[in-house]
């Protein structure tokens, strides 16, 4: 048997005999020719059966081969710019074909199905080129995250998922009774533990599933998502922004480098992503409010005008983020949010206690927030005050306040949402396609 190759490497095998192990994604029959679009996990390639090259039995088998049958194909690779596929541009002239299993009637015929139907069949939907491509990009994004952080002195530390206390507000907690210890909550963030860890390891990150009982049914919210959270000792807000822009640029450039065919198959314009290099623009929340108000004043549609209303002091909604990010080609830092709309642990702005040393990174083209971060309060008295102000149970945070008593330093960190980042890089509409098995307020199956 000729060597088994991956479709992603097909260009290395032009004019050679090869073997593909995969599945029949699509089949079309034209007289003496049958075209199979075969996928092998690494790509999609057109394989052509020519009647005169094959035994009558084998040709008949191929003519009737059901969609999603598993096959082992031998044949010769030809370069043909018209051949469809990912990467495309090559086809295989079939010389032999073994059917491993002739598939039963496949629930996803190659026509338009409603999105609910596709989500019910998510375990099969991930085989389709668009979903496959997004999930390949996701894997590369995750690898790039680990790579950049490791290369830049960060150590990966796992933080608990069952936790006794909230990090990002008490309204989105998933709780469960925990033996005789009271309630446990699924982690909303590993940040508080990261903060303990930096005092032992200086630069750390955690990377895990994150849980938010978000009541919101939007394109940007999942109840279970993946977040990478770096945390750095001796780092202020400016230092944090420098880390973030290097980090995000690395992720995007790696995605282009390793997933060009996948991104192109999604219709993504790579030249837009190639521009994602440091430095990123930085504006204050104050300036952001002014910019939104200026656009609002020019907006004629009364409904849109209402949506864009932006008094100082409120958090941005999706329309505000869209309005801002459409003004820039690169991700945009907005820093100095009102203290009242942010979490309890954020350091106040010097001389302006109503403002926090916080910074969000908003992705361009209307994608909006992909990172939330801040400098943390380093003073134990102020921290205790904030815990009281937010009506948090002091007992559960005793250890966290300890960190400010034994060698406290200015420190900062951020959290990047993997699905938000993948959605933006792929140029798709909805977060639910950026994770294999999305968890949303109204969906837990499959
Ligand atoms: O802004 P957030 O809530 O920040 C934190 O959790 C901090 N503790 C992070 C830190 O400083 N260590 O969340 C950070 C990011 C958001 O920018 C977004 O990308 C993502 O997590 N995110 C969500 N992604 C999907 N679904 C949701 N419901 C999300 N909530 C936040
Ligand atoms: Mg946020």
Q: Is the CB of 191 under 6 A from ligand 1?
A: yes
Residues comprising the chain, all counted = 446
- The whole-angstrom separation of Cα 245 and Cα 242 is 5
pLDDT band of residue 217 (cuts 50, 70, 90) is: confident
CATH number of 7-101: 2.40.50.140
**Confidence (pLDDT) at 334:** 98
- Taking a C-beta distance cutoff of 8 angstroms, is the pair 164, 170 a contact? no
**Confidence (pLDDT) at 112:** 85
CA of 101 to the centre of ligand 2 (A): 48
**Confidence (pLDDT) at 167:** 83
216 pLDDT more than 90: no
**Mean pLDDT score across all residues of the chain:** 97
Q: Establish whether domains 7-101 and 123-434 are of one fold.
A: no
Closest ligand 1 atom, residue 214 Cα: 28
Nearest CA to ligand 1 atom 28: 221
**Confidence (pLDDT) at 238:** 98
pLDDT in tens, 81-102: 999 999 999 999 999 999 999 9
pLDDT in tens, 235-274: 999 999 999 999 999 999 999 999 999 999 999 999 999 9
CA of 148 to the centre of ligand 1 (A): 20
pLDDT in tens, 303-321: 999 999 999 999 999 999 9
Q: Is the CB of 214 under 6 A from ligand 1?
A: yes
Nearest CA to ligand 1 atom 7: 415
Nearest CA to ligand 1 atom 17: 371
- Taking a C-beta distance cutoff of 8 angstroms, is the pair 162, 213 a contact? no
SS (H, E, C) the chain: CCCECCHHHHHHHECCEEEEEEEEEEEEEECCEEEEEEECCCCEEEEEEEHHHCCHHHHHHHHCCCCCCEEEEEEEEEECCCCCEECCCEEEEEEEEEEEECCCCCCCCCCCCCHHHHHHCHHHHCCCHHHHHHHHHHHHHHHHHHHHHHHCCCEECCCCCEECCCCCCHHHCCEEECCCCCEEEECCCCHHHHHHHHHHHCEEEEEEEEECCCCCCCCCCCCEEEEEEEEEECCCHHHHHHHHHHHHHHHHHHHHHHHHHHHHHCCCCHHHHHCCCCCCCEEEHHHHHHHHHHHHHHCCCHHHHHHCCCCCCCCCCHHHHHHHHCCCCCCEEEECCEHHHCCCCECEECCEEEEECEEEEEECCCCEEEEEEEEECCCHHHHHHHHHHCCCCHHHHHHHHHCCCCCCCCEEEEEEEHHHHHHHHHCCCCHHHHCCCCCECCECCC
Q: Which ligand gives the minimal distance to the CA of 369?
A: 1
Q: Domain coordinates of the chain in residue numbers?
A: 7-101, 123-434
Closest ligand 1 atom, residue 225 Cα: 25
**Confidence (pLDDT) at 249:** 98
pLDDT band of residue 169 (cuts 50, 70, 90) is: confident
Give the pTM.
Answer: 0.97
299 pLDDT more than 90: yes
pLDDT in tens, 342-393: 999 999 999 999 999 999 999 999 999 999 999 999 999 999 999 999 999 9
In this prediction, what percent of the chain has a pLDDT beyond 90?
Answer: 96
- The whole-angstrom separation of Cα 189 and Cα 344 is 14
CATH number of 123-434: 3.30.930.10
SS (H, E, C) 14-76: ECCEEEEEEEEEEEEEECCEEEEEEECCCCEEEEEEEHHHCCHHHHHHHHCCCCCCEEEEEEE
pLDDT band of residue 168 (cuts 50, 70, 90) is: confident
**Confidence (pLDDT) at 242:** 98
Q: Is the CB of 168 under 6 A from ligand 1?
A: yes
Q: Which ligand gives the minimal distance to the CA of 244?
A: 1
The residue assigned the tokens 């909230």 is 166
Q: Which ligand gives the minimal distance to the CA of 168?
A: 1
- The whole-angstrom separation of Cα 208 and Cα 206 is 7
pLDDT band of residue 166 (cuts 50, 70, 90) is: confident
Nearest CA to ligand 1 atom 21: 417
- Taking a C-beta distance cutoff of 8 angstroms, is the pair 412, 391 a contact? no
CA of 70 to the centre of ligand 1 (A): 40
- The whole-angstrom separation of Cα 439 and Cα 431 is 10
CA of 341 to the centre of ligand 2 (A): 10
Q: How far is CA 250 from CA 266, 320, 331, 397, in A?
A: 21, 27, 13, 35
Q: Which ligand gives the minimal distance to the CA of 439?
A: 1
Query: For residue 31, how many C-alpha atoms fall within 13 Å in the half-sphere facing its CB?
Result: 2
**Confidence (pLDDT) at 170:** 84
The residue assigned the tokens 């059966």 is 49
**Confidence (pLDDT) at 109:** 85
pLDDT band of residue 215 (cuts 50, 70, 90) is: confident
198 pLDDT more than 90: yes
């Amino acid at each position: 048997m000729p060597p088994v190759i991956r479709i992603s490497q097909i260009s290395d095998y032009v004019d050679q005999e090869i073997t593909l192990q995969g599945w029949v994604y699509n089949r079309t029959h034209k007289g003496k020719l049958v075209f199979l679009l075969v996928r092998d996990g690494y790509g999609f390639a057109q394989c052509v059966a020519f009647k005169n090259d094959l035994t009558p039995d084998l040709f008949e088998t191929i003519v009737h081969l059901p969609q999603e049958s598993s096959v082992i194909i031998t044949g010769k690779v030809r370069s043909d710019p018209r051949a469809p596929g990912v990467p495309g541009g090559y086809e295989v002239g079939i010389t032999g074909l073994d059917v491993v299993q002739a598939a039963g009637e496949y629930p996803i015929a190659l026509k338009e199905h409603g999105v609910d139907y596709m989500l019910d069949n998510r375990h099969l939907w991930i085989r389709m080129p668009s979903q496959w491509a997004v999930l390949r990009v996701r894997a590369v994004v995750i690898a790039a995250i680990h790579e950049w952080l490791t290369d830049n002195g960060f150590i990966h530390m796992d933080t608990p998922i069952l936790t006794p206390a909230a990090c990002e507000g008490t309204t989105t907690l998933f709780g469960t009774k925990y033996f005789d210890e009271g309630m446990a909550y699924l982690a909303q963030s590993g940040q508080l533990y990261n903060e303990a860890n930096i005092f032992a390891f200086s630069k750390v990150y955690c990377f895990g599933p994150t849980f938010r009982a978000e009541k919101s049914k939007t394109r940007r919210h999942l109840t279970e998502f993946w977040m990478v959270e770096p945390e750095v000792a001796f780092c202020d807000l400016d230092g944090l922004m420098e880390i973030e822009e290097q980090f995000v640029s690395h992720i995007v450039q790696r995605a282009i480098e390793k997933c060009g065919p996948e991104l192109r198959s999604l219709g993504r314009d790579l030249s837009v992503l190639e521009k994602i290099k440091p430095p990123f623009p930085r504006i204050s929340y104050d300036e952001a409010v002014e910019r939104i108000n200026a656009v609002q004043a020019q907006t004629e549609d009364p409904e849109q005008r209402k949506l864009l209303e932006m008094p100082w002091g409120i958090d941005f909604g999706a329309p505000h983020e869209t309005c801002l990010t459409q003004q820039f080609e690169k991700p945009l830092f907005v820093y100095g949010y009102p203290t009242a709309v942010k979490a309890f642990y954020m350091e106040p702005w010097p001389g302006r206690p109503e403002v926090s040393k916080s910074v969000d990174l908003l992705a361009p083209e209307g994608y909006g927030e992909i990172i939330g971060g801040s400098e943390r309060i380093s003073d134990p008295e102020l921290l205790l005050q904030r815990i009281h102000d937010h009506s948090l149970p002091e007992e559960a945070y005793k250890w966290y306040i300890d960190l400010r008593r034994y060698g406290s330093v200015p420190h900062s960190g951020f959290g990047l949402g993997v699905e938000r980042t993948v959605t933006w890089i792929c140029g798709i509409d909805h977060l639910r396609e950026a994770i294999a098995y999305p968890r949303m307020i109204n969906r837990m199956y499959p």
